[in-house]
């Protein structure tokens, strides 16, 4: 089974790219983030004609996640238990940042769009940390029920766990994505039994998944590694290969993220 994750930065704007990507790489399951649409706003005709089932979760023109599968899709869940609301007051809602489903032979896959955090003094920063704690708790719950469970936590984590996951640590001084609390929250998910299954085959530095549209970051190779496939022990053992499709960041109308692809023998 070939799975992939991609922050698409608007599915409606890049449906043609998604269809071409699925065909070119023969992807079985694609997790998308930032679809930026309500499900009713999406024209899924071409995906369905290509043999894919689609589950999408979006509340407005922001955020939004989806799962696209040609190997079955069941037990779809649209939020993590105990996830905080935003804003974190009586006006808050649970944002469309998580969508989980079972695909293939019992693989539970979550498409995740972790909050950005914005600025260190912004309320979005502690919200991000609490959101990651909810993810850690769900991962722990999954494996506590069955240590051999096949679970993949995939998506845009908005955290660069290591210094070589960004092009210049000095540039990120005083900024989000690289702070110790964020990295500790990421490590807490890993410590529950979920490992980055791509890094062993593609270590840094310079191995990025995101390049800002501004300041010519992509041609300057000034990127960040913030998109991950974290697998449970059973998924870790099943990995047979992986790659980051940097070519998808090129050309007119590209997303600012590149897809991360993993092959599994389950």
* H-assigned helices in 114-264: 124-145, 180-191, 233-238
Instruction: Check the annotation: does 7 bind a ligand.
Output: yes
Q: Which helix (H) or strand (E) holds 23?
A: helix 15-25
Residue of 156, 165, 196, 227 marked active site: 156
Residue 113's DSSP bridge partners are 156
Minimal CA–CA distance to 229: which of 209, 212, 211?
Answer: 209
Instruction: Check the annotation: does 34 bind a ligand.
Output: yes
Residue of 28, 52, 57, 113 marked active site: 113
Q: Please, are residues 4 and 259 in contact by the beta-carbon 8 Å criterion?
A: yes
The answer to whether 156 is a known catalytic residue is: yes
Instruction: Check the annotation: does 105 bind a ligand.
Output: no
Minimal CA–CA distance to 35: which of 58, 18, 69, 4?
Answer: 58
The answer to whether 210 is a known catalytic residue is: no
Q: Using CA atoms, how far apart are residues 262 and 83, in angstroms rounded to an integer?
A: 27
Instruction: Check the annotation: does 170 bind a ligand.
Output: no
Instruction: Check the annotation: does 60 bind a ligand.
Output: no
Q: Using CA atoms, how far apart are residues 263 and 257, in angstroms rounded to an integer?
A: 20
The answer to whether 257 is a known catalytic residue is: yes
Provide φ and ψ at 129, rounded to 5°: -65, -40
Which residues are documented as binding site?
A: 7, 34, 156, 158, 256-257
Query: Could you tell me which residues are annotated as the binding site for Mg(2+)?
Result: 7, 34, 156, 158, 256-257
As annotated, the active-site residues are 113, 156, 257
């Amino acid at each position: 089974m070939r799975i992939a994750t991609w922050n698409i930065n608007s599915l409606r704007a890049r449906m043609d790219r998604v269809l071409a990507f699925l065909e070119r790489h023969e992807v079985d399951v694609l997790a998308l983030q930032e679809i930026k649409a309500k499900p009713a706003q999406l024209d899924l005709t071409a995906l369905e004609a290509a043999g894919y089932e689609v589950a999408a979760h979006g509340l407005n023109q922001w955020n939004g996640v989806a799962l696209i599968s040609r190997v079955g899709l069941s037990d779809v869940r649209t939020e993590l238990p105990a996830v905080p609301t935003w804003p974190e007051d009586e006006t808050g809602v649970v944002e469309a940042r998580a969508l989980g489903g079972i695909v293939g032979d019992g693989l539970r896959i979550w498409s995740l769009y972790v909050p950005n955090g914005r600025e260190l003094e912004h309320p979005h920063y502690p919200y991000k940390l609490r959101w990651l704690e909810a993810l850690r708790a769900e991962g722990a719950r999954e494996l506590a029920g069955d240590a051999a469970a096949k679970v993949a936590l995939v998506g845009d984590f908005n955290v660069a766990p290591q210094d070589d996951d960004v092009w210049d640590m000095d540039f990120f001084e005083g900024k989000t994505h690289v702070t110790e609390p964020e990295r500790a929250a990421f490590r807490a998910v890993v410590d529950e039994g979920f490992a980055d299954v791509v890094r062993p085959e593609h270590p840094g530095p310079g191995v990025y998944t995101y390049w800002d549209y501004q300041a010519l970051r992509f041609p300057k190779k000034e990127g960040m590694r913030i998109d991950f496939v974290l697998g449970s022990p059973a998924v870790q053992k099943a990995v047979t290969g992986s790659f980051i499709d940097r070519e998808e960041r090129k050309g007119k109308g590209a997303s600012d993220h590149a897809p991360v692809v993993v092959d599994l023998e389950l």
